[in-house]
A and B are shown apart, each in its own frame.
Chain A
């Protein structure tokens, strides 16, 4: 049950776009369309941003989008805002268990 692979950090300036990748295997990301993404501000509980690879919960801005190709999922944040600065985690089904990515720290310059 190894963690999904995410870059440790990404950064961008306000208004720019950034993409965070999440690499798994054919047994998790590649096998299921149950990939979700979570935003976590320091000291707070995680917040669901994307589920089912591409779906946005009510209230999440359309600046956040998700995609998947083979064993890699991606989260793209466009029109970066200061409040987007947080840790982001991907998550995938893997049959009888669930795997999270190691997390990516997004810095808004």
Chain B
């Protein structure tokens, strides 16, 4: 059974940092590109970052560029998101997603982890 479990969310003050993790199982994690997608409370989906299989290619949305860093450890079947200089507008549920069938086919999703940025 495919499972992706995010962790690391919580309450953080503006300007603070958090590291999100996504543990994958039930599929060959090392074979697929991975992304982070977030959803602010009551709002729509927002793509924030992509990482290739080898970690050689990484893309970021303008809203997080320079503040967030995506990484992966294929040996541990894990995806990470290092978030620095957090702002109130970063408050959202953060999902990890796997592109399996082809680019932009986010076939597998985690259940999400809530990040709240507030003083």
Measured CB to CB, the residues of A under 8 A from B are 1, 3, 34-36, 38, 40, 45-48, 51-52, 55, 57, 87, 89, 91-93, 96-103
Contact = CB atoms under 8 A, between A and B. Distances in A.
Interface of B: 35, 37, 44-47, 50, 59-63, 95, 101-107, 109-112
Nearest to A93: B104
A101 B104 CA distance: 13
Contacts of A97: 47, 50, 59-62
A81 to B, nearest CB: 22
A92 B103 CA distance: 10
Nearest to A96: B59
Contacts of A46: 37, 45, 95, 106, 109
Nearest to B109: A45
Given A45-B111, A51-B102, 10 more contacts: A46-B37, A57-B107, A91-B104, A97-B47, A100-B44, A100-B45, A100-B46, A100-B47, A102-B44, A103-B45
Nearest to B108: A48
A48 B109 CA distance: 9
Contacts of A38: 45, 106
A12 to B, nearest CB: 21
